[in-house]
Amino acid sequence: MMTLTGKIVFVTGASRGIGAVTVGSLLQAGASVVAHLGRNGHGGEELLERFGPDRVHLLKGDLAQPGTATRLFLEAVAWKGRVDVLVNNAGVAPTLTIDAPLEEWSKLWTETLQVNLLSVAESCRAALLHYREHGGGIIINIASRAAFRGDNPDAMHYAASKGAVVTLTKSVARGYAAQGVLAYAVAPGWVSTEMAEAYLRDHQEELARELPMGSAAPPEDVANTVVFLASGAVPHMTGATLDINGASYVR
């Protein structure tokens, strides 16, 4: 198992799904974790009780609001004086078609880009400024298979945001490698989470044809990938995107 003992990791969107499982895996690998639990701050109590306040620190904040990402990163730094690894996992995927009224369509596009892209860019900026003073660090951005293959017509805004996350990650890797910064993207396809449960259930036959392995990926696959990248074991992989989709989209 990769050991992350001594590392401090900040994970956004950690209240459930991929984020919650990732926080648990990071803790099991020895890291101390700052977990962002969304605007309401729900979840995380079990991890706090299990690992204690010296290993887990909980934050809340609405990433749909500009400036929140910076505030959260600075609060994460304040906990122990530094952050070694940033994991931008928080994201939204509201259904939206071109038939929606323009005002609603524009509002949901703006919200999706704010949470999925602009808050990620803002977090990266805060991390880069911090890493410049601490000799480097690691950034891991959770993107999506949709960044490369596109998505359904009711999720174009989601696909667009995740495509931009991939190019943002590559730009960070190219621009800041000399300063000791490593940046990676992780691009899952369908993952078995609470958020995807209803869709996976209602589209079983369609997904059985789409997924060569016959099922969506467990969130542990994503979490284990994040632990691996957070270890810093493969610095020359910086800028890469790691696919987790069971060969449903192979590049």
Among 90, 119, 114, 121, which residue's Cα sits nearest to residue 17?
Answer: 90
The secondary structure of 3-15 as a DSSP string is: --TT-EEEESS-S
Q: Which amino acid is at 179?
A: Q
**Contacts from 57-61 at CB under 8 Å and sequence distance 24+?**
57/32, 57/33, 58/34, 59/34, 59/35, 60/36, 61/36
| 176 counts as catalytic | no
For residue 191, the 8-state DSSP code is: B
Catalytic residue among 158, 184, 199, 249: 158
CA distance 71 to 49: 25
Q: Are 223 and 18 in contact (CB under 8 A)?
A: yes
Residue 114: which residues within 8 A CB-CB, separation 6 or more? 63, 64, 65, 66
CA atoms within 13 Å, Cβ hemisphere of 156: 8
Residues noted as catalytic? 158
